[in-house]
Amino acid sequence: MSEPNWANRTVWTADNLDVMRGMNSESVDLIYLDPPFNSNRTYEAPIGSKAAGAAFKDSWTLSDVDDAWHGEIAERHPALYRVIDAAELSHGTGMKSYLIMMGVRMLEIRRLLKSTGSLYVHCDPTAGHYLKLLLDAVFGAESFRSHIAWKRTSAHSDARQGRRQHGRVQDFIFFVTKGGGWTWNVLYSAYDRDYVDQLYRHVEPETGRRYQLDNLTGPGGTGRGNPAYEVMGVTRSWRYSKERMEELIAQGRVVQSRPGAVPRYKRYLDEMPGVPLQDVWTDVKPIGSRARERVGYPTQKPLALLERIIKASSNEGDVVLDPFCGCATTLVAAHRLGRQWAGIDLSEVAIRLVHERLGRESEALGPVQVHARTDMPQRTDLGELPDYGTHKHQLYGKQEGKCAGCRALFPFRNMTVDHVVARSRGGSDHMDNLQLLCGACNSTKGAGTQEALIARLKILGVL
């Protein structure tokens, strides 16, 4: 594990892939992402709303992603490559493009998570099942913990609009862990009203507290439990020692319905934690049209949803990252709960909303200093690296003398060491981020991306 190489409460306005590539490995405890869903829609915040100006296109073609990403996935992760190819066969190039975009980011997300870290991926039925396969490929099927169904809306009109299907009212949230010792805090939800009426049907007249009468008997016999003794005229082997039983009687917690009846324990409803949280969430309501937290962002999620996730899978002081932070709900929830946090978003609206929403919190929590950045972080977890030029001979052998751009064979002297991800985009001098290009390809690439170079070479007919 390593320390974050960025300040707490940092928000980047940039491509999250570039930013994450510059972050230290195993420096984040919890990552939540609510990425585009490949829904084939364009979302825009209404004019006049707090999020006005925020918009994104949620449809994907191969022109939207870099071909080199697919090559990178094929080289780094064959299992992920096969998942993406299978998606293309069954769903077309749009899904393939979307999964390429998500795949390269998932590889970075896995690198960023600590061994005790957790990931929550928010999606819907459009691409959810493909994302599940993608997560299995990157993290391993054994790392999958839960498929949470969140009821995001009330009754839907799908069935009444001639679509001949059930109304779609749920989103998926996939919960994945990186290692075996992930952080987990048990949360509870309220009991169902029918359950309360049935089991806690007694009410104390003087206090109005609901309670049920529970069994007090325990295992008897030598070596099996407490010895038998008399309580209110009834001799049994009891659950508690005689001393503890006398304390409970003094507290009014032992009840005998009639003389001779077996005494029972008075268990109050308000002392019970509730039902351990399950994987179907119907109690977190979507944001209403007049909700105070509503900012008009097209896909805004409620604070209660993020607070639940953060409470369950992190502790105070832990680092929370949202690579698609949008209207900053994750960041606000993390701040409320005493976590460190960072967010990334392409839109400049995100940083404005962070300031505005956290400004409200400052009334209760004090002033909040947010670090707004557009530059890329530089990794500090790689130790002292030699001058990257010293890797030229090793790279020449690894690439068998072929340029990593045009694939042509060149003499050693015609090759130039190049950063796959430019240092200005968060790339490091580590061997894994270096390649050899011929003079022409190096000039064409400049400070751009490897993906743009490959696309340009295809246009020129070189590839």
pLDDT tens-digit map of 178-233: 988 999 999 998 888 898 999 999 999 989 999 999 999 987 655 566 778 999 99
Q: What is the pTM of this model?
A: 0.77
Q: Give the pLDDT confidence score for residue 53 in this predicted structure.
A: 46
Q: Which two tokens stand for residue 205?
A: 């007249």
Determine contact, residues 41/361, Cβ cutoff 8 Å. Answer: no
Q: Give the pLDDT confidence score for residue 52 in this predicted structure.
A: 46
Residues 208, 185: Cα–Cα separation, whole Å: 31
User: Judging by DSSP bridges, how do beta strands 340-345 and 188-189 pair with one another?
Assistant: unpaired
Q: What is the pLDDT of residues 45-66, one digit of tens each?
A: 344 444 444 444 544 455 555 5
The CATH code that applies to domain 389-459 is: 1.10.30.50
Q: Give the pLDDT confidence score for residue 74 in this predicted structure.
A: 74
Q: Give the pLDDT confidence score for residue 51 in this predicted structure.
A: 45
Q: Give the pLDDT confidence score for residue 189 in this predicted structure.
A: 87
Q: Give the pLDDT confidence score for residue 259 in this predicted structure.
A: 92
Nearest to 330 by CA among 17, 30, 124, 50: 30
CATH level 3 topology of 10-189+276-373: Rossmann fold (3.40.50)
User: Rg for the chain (alpha carbons), in Å?
Assistant: 29
- Answer whether residue 316 shows pLDDT above 90: yes
- What are the structural domain ranges in the chain? 10-189+276-373, 193-271, 389-459
- Answer whether residue 157 shows pLDDT above 80: no
Q: Give the pLDDT confidence score for residue 65 in this predicted structure.
A: 55
pLDDT bin (cut points 50, 70, 90) of residue 98 is confident
Length of the chain: 463
Q: Give the pLDDT confidence score for residue 314 in this predicted structure.
A: 98
Q: Which two tokens stand for residue 207?
A: 């206090």
Q: Give the pLDDT confidence score for residue 68 in this predicted structure.
A: 59
Q: Give the pLDDT confidence score for residue 46 in this predicted structure.
A: 40
Average pLDDT over residues 266-287: 91
Determine contact, residues 56/144, Cβ cutoff 8 Å. Answer: no
Average pLDDT over residues 133-142: 95
Residues 457, 463: Cα–Cα separation, whole Å: 6
Average pLDDT over residues 332-360: 87
Q: Is pLDDT larger for residue 36 or for residue 202?
A: 202
Nearest to 444 by CA among 424, 460, 425: 460
Average pLDDT over residues 70-86: 81
Between 155-159, 294-298, 423-427, the lowest mean confidence (pLDDT) is in: 155-159
- Answer whether residue 447 shows pLDDT above 90: no
CB atoms within 10 A of CB 10: 20
